[in-house]
């Protein structure tokens, strides 16, 4: 009808798209979204060096070519509250993300020897000591600044009792990820607190560096600096000058009154467009397990965003619960590290820290189906159905990431922006889809590709039962 505006079309090009929220549901019937937990594997890194005698902490992982690389914090010494805080930034690498090597780098001295995997000395660089590293590879940087790192400072005298000493956020660059030099604007942020694992993200779509750091939400009465622990965000276009941090994630009315967010583990998911994910570690400060030596309980939860600024928590159950091992039923267990990597054609993996403060503390690989964080599910009984808003795409074929039961089915229809089936792409023309595939084409009986409707405003209608769909893309 004349004068009625057309519905807004989403330009998805040929980028992978995840069903993580309601963005792609213009109409829906008898469907639901489900959160999927990762599979926890055996330990991949343990404390087996004397400079790691106290704990392993805050891992950060990335893949550079065929090599997996990890930076982490190692603590030396006792857990005596008044002992010196000796923290090292260490490095490990792997070809398969299972067997890890701690190479003898010859960079930093420990007890008279450089035969170790330490990349940042406990004595500091240019008078600054750090811990809790977060590293990225900058795809647009000059070679000498290919690797970028942020970290929190610690006092030069080694004292950091109860995290009361003011700390800063500092930044470093490197050509190899091993030998680091500070940026000229250090410290990049002074408005703390920073007493946790702050993380660095490159947002390729906005062309900005982003840090997610600890914050305090004082609008909620709590035990931490007049409020509760929360997550703040700051951004930069040059890695030197940063915006004033702003709160982006806090507990809300649907949470228990004693919930806090201790860490964030945020990242931009590179396998899909406009997808930011976060795995905060919760902290119930006054809650105590009967067999725990002290108070405090934690788990890992899930948050998502389309822009890295506005975050949602559509699922409130744990992404990683403490589990059967009672040693994890103590504060700061488990804790998700920073980063996610492809570990095969069907899987992606993250690094989980567990058994904090236990002699068997270390890191686990936790693995999940590629794009498999959230699925849209069709029922076992009857049919589910949804239709997307108008989409503008490029490509000649539609692919789905899906899993069905043995008796499950998926059928797909392409519609024009008015909701009418496009000739040759109606539901009855679609070849039945079933099985379990990370990326498989949708076919219609005529065998025609999609180039005739490429760049048009197209809706996707999916009718399915006993099936889960994780993602889609045009190629």
pLDDT in tens, 445-456: 988 889 888 778
Dihedral angle computed from the Cα positions of residues 429, 435, 436 and 442, in that order, rounded to the nearest 10 degrees: -10
Let me know whether 350 and 297 are in one domain: yes
Q: How confident is residue 125, by pLDDT bands cut at 50, 70 and 90?
A: confident
Q: What is the DSSP letter of 443?
A: -
Question: Regarding beta strands 391-393 and 10-13, do their DSSP bridges make them parallel or antiparallel, or are they unpaired?
Answer: parallel
In the chain, helix, strand, coil percent, each to 5? 5, 45, 50
Counted domains in the chain? 2
Q: Is residue 4 part of a domain?
A: no
Let me know whether 223 and 128 are in one domain: yes
pLDDT (average), residues 214-233: 96
The per-residue pLDDT for 4 is 47
Does 167 score more than 90 pLDDT? no
pLDDT (average), residues 391-413: 97
Q: Which of 369, 391, 412 delimits the end of a domain?
A: 369
Let me know whether 19 and 72 are in one domain: no
With beta carbons less than 8 A apart as the criterion, state whether 364 and 352 touch.
Answer: yes
Let me know whether 351 and 386 are in one domain: no
CA-based Rg of the chain, rounded to a whole angstrom?
24
pLDDT (average), residues 359-384: 97
pLDDT (average), residues 205-212: 97
pLDDT (average), residues 225-229: 96
The per-residue pLDDT for 6 is 55
Let me know whether 461 and 420 are in one domain: yes
What is the distance between the alpha carbons of residues 237 and 447, in angstroms, rounded to a whole number? 47
pLDDT (average), residues 362-374: 98
pLDDT (average), residues 228-237: 98
CATH code assigned at 382: 2.60.120.260
Phi-psi region for residue 446, left (φ > 0), alpha (ψ -120 to 50) or beta? alpha
Let me know whether 238 and 362 are in one domain: yes
The per-residue pLDDT for 158 is 53
Q: Which of 369, 388, 421 delimits the end of a domain?
A: 369
Q: What pLDDT digit, counting tens, does each position of 323-359 carry?
A: 999 999 998 899 999 999 999 999 999 999 999 989 9
pLDDT (average), residues 438-464: 91
Q: How confident is residue 242, by pLDDT bands cut at 50, 70 and 90?
A: very high
In this predicted model, which residue has the larger pLDDT, 273 or 155? 273
The per-residue pLDDT for 2 is 47
In this predicted model, which residue has the larger pLDDT, 83 or 283? 283
With beta carbons less than 8 A apart as the criterion, state whether 336 and 358 touch.
Answer: no
Q: Is residue 233 part of a domain?
A: yes
Q: How confident is residue 1, by pLDDT bands cut at 50, 70 and 90?
A: very low
pLDDT (average), residues 291-311: 95
CA distances from 209 to 242, 272, 305, 308 (A): 9, 18, 16, 11
State the residue range of the domain holding 271: 39-369
In this predicted model, which residue has the larger pLDDT, 101 or 165? 101
Let me know whether 31 and 50 are in one domain: no
Q: What pLDDT digit, counting tens, does each position of 275-295 carry?
A: 999 999 999 999 999 988 889
Q: How confident is residue 256, by pLDDT bands cut at 50, 70 and 90?
A: very high
The per-residue pLDDT for 448 is 80
Q: Is residue 426 part of a domain?
A: yes
Does 300 score more than 60 pLDDT? yes
Q: Is residue 5 part of a domain?
A: no
Q: Which of 369, 404, 438 delimits the end of a domain?
A: 369
pLDDT (average), residues 258-286: 96
Q: Is residue 3 part of a domain?
A: no
Mean pLDDT of the chain: 93
> How long is the chain?
475
Give 162's contacts (C-beta < 8 A, 6+ positions apart).
Answer: none
Among 271, 308, 265, 346, smallest CA distance to 18 is for: 271
Let me know whether 225 and 355 are in one domain: yes
């Amino acid at each position: 009808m004349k004068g009625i505006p057309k519905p807004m079309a989403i330009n998805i090009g040929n980028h992978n798209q995840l069903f993580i929220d309601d963005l792609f549901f213009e109409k829906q019937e008898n469907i639901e979204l489900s959160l999927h937990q990762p599979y926890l594997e055996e330990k991949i890194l343990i404390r087996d060096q004397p400079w790691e005698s106290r704990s392993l902490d805050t891992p950060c992982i990335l893949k550079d070519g065929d090599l997996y690389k990890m930076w982490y914090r190692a603590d030396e010494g006792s857990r005596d509250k008044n002992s010196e805080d000796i923290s090292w930034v260490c490095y490990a690498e792997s070809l398969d993300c299972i067997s890890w090597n701690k190479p003898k780098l010859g960079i930093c001295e420990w007890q008279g020897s450089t035969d170790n995997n330490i990349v940042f000395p406990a004595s500091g660089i240019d008078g600054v000591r750090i811990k809790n590293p977060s590293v990225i590879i900058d795809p647009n940087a000059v070679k000498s600044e290919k690797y970028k790192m942020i970290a929190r400072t610690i006092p030069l005298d080694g004292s950091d009792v109860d995290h009361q000493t003011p700390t800063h956020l500092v930044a470093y660059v490197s050509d190899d990820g091993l030998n680091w030099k500070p940026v000229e604007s250090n410290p990049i942020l002074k408005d703390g607190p920073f007493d946790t694992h702050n993380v660095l993200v490159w947002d390729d779509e906005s062309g900005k560096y982003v840090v997610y750091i600890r914050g305090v939400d004082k609008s909620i009465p709590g035990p931490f600096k007049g409020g509760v622990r929360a997550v703040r965000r700051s951004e930069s276009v040059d890695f030197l000058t940063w915006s004033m941090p702003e709160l982006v994630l806090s507990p809300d009315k649907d949470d228990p009154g004693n919930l806090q967010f201790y860490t964030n583990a945020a990242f931009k998911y590179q396998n899909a467009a406009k997808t930011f994910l976060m795995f905060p570690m919760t902290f119930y400060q006054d809650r105590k397990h009967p067999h725990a030596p002290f108070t405090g309980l934690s788990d890992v939860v899930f948050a998502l965003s389309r822009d890295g600024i506005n975050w949602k928590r559509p699922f409130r159950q744990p992404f990683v619960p403490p589990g059967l091992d009672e040693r994890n039923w103590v504060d700061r267990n488990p804790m998700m590290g920073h980063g996610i990597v492809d570990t095969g054609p069907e899987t992606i993996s993250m690094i989980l820290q567990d058994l904090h403060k236990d002699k068997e503390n270390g890191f686990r690989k936790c693995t999940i189906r590629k794009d498999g964080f959230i699925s849209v599910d069709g029922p076992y009984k009857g049919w589910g159905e949804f239709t997307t808003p108008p989409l503008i795409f490029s490509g000649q074929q539609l692919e789905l990431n899906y899993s069905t039961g043995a008796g499950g089915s998926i059928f797909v229809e392409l519609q024009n922006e008015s909701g009418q089936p496009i000739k040759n792409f109606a539901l009855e023309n679609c070849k039945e889809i079933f099985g379990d595939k990370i990326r498989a084409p949708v076919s219609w009986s005529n065998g025609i590709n999609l180039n005739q409707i490429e760049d048009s405003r197209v809706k996707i209608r999916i009718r399915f039962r006993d099936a889960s769909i994780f993602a889609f893309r045009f190629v």
